[in-house]
Copies of this chain bind each other. A is one copy, B any other.
Amino acid sequence: MSDSLPILPEPQWRAGEHQLLELGTGPGVATGAGADEPCLRADAARNRARLLEAAARLVEQFGAAGVTMEAVAAAAQVGKGTVFRRFGDRTGLLMALLDHSERKLQAAFLTGPPPLGPGAPPVERLRAFGVAVLRRAVDELELQLAAEGEPDRRFASAPRMVLSAHVGMLLRQAIPGADCELLAKTLMGYLDPALIHHLTKQCGMAPARLEAGWIDLVDRITGGAPSH
């Protein structure tokens, strides 16, 4: 009975998608639509590119709501099944669309210049981190919102976990005695796209106030730890 099922279709979407920390290869950020797909058949890679391009076109034309799996497939002249095979589900496609700026952010705080990157004291890096995420959010808000899938996958997504781990690391440096894992989740909660959307778009709060709120929050949580 074990030979009838062909070893599971093997979810190979996720190959090359939002990987966690694989950016020790080159000096800077990937230059956009370069060669970043390691092991993908020629036609598959081609179709993947066409799908992403089509999806991006749909986004800027009709907004995130216009990114329908069938529409993307049609626009890319590809079968619907192909879209799902490549990206798993709608959420996966949207996340792939966000992947580029995601990596840019990761590179910035992992290997970039201070105060975001290494070199500055942790509390200062924390402050810069939040501001960077907030600024990035105001651009891609719609996409980021649409990319939030089921509630239980929100926190399990690779990009979110990278950010959370980074915050946790900085917190451990700033306040070694605390439960930094939990505090990191709290800080990340402040940067939830849905919250940002709610506060800026529905409550009409100015982004500057959000940034100030982040600074204040970091200071409170780190309890006036030495910032330099």
Name the CB-closest residue of B to A183: B217
Main secondary structure of the interface of A (DSSP, over half): helix
Question: Out of B145, B156, B185, B194, which one reaches A202, CB within 8 Å?
Answer: B156
Instruction: Tell me the minimal C-beta distance from A207 to chain B in angstroms.
Output: 12
- Which of A5-13, A55-63, A121-129, A208-216 is found at the contact surface with chain B? A208-216
Report the minimum CB–CB distance from A178 to chain B (whole Å): 7
Q: Nearest chain B CB to A215's CB is how many angstroms away?
A: 11
| Copies of this chain in its oligomeric complex | 2
Size range of the chain A interface in the assembly: 20 to 34
With an 8 A cutoff between CB atoms, is A195 at the interface? yes
Q: Say yes or no for A227: interface residue by CB 8 A criterion.
A: no
Chain B residues lying within 8 Å of A44, measured Cβ to Cβ, are none
Q: Mark A43-81, 1 if CB is under 8 A from B, else 0.
A: 000000000000000000000000000000000000000
The answer to whether B145 and A194 touch across the interface, beta carbons within 8 angstroms, is: no
Please, which residue of chain B has its CB at the minimum distance from the CB of A146?
B151
Residue ID in chain B nearest A154 by CB atoms: B194
Given A213-B182, A221-B220; A151-B194 close (CB under 8 Å):
yes
Query: What are the 6 tightest A-B residue pairs by CB atom distance, in nearest-first order?
Result: A189-B189, A155-B198, A182-B213, A151-B194, A148-B151, A145-B151
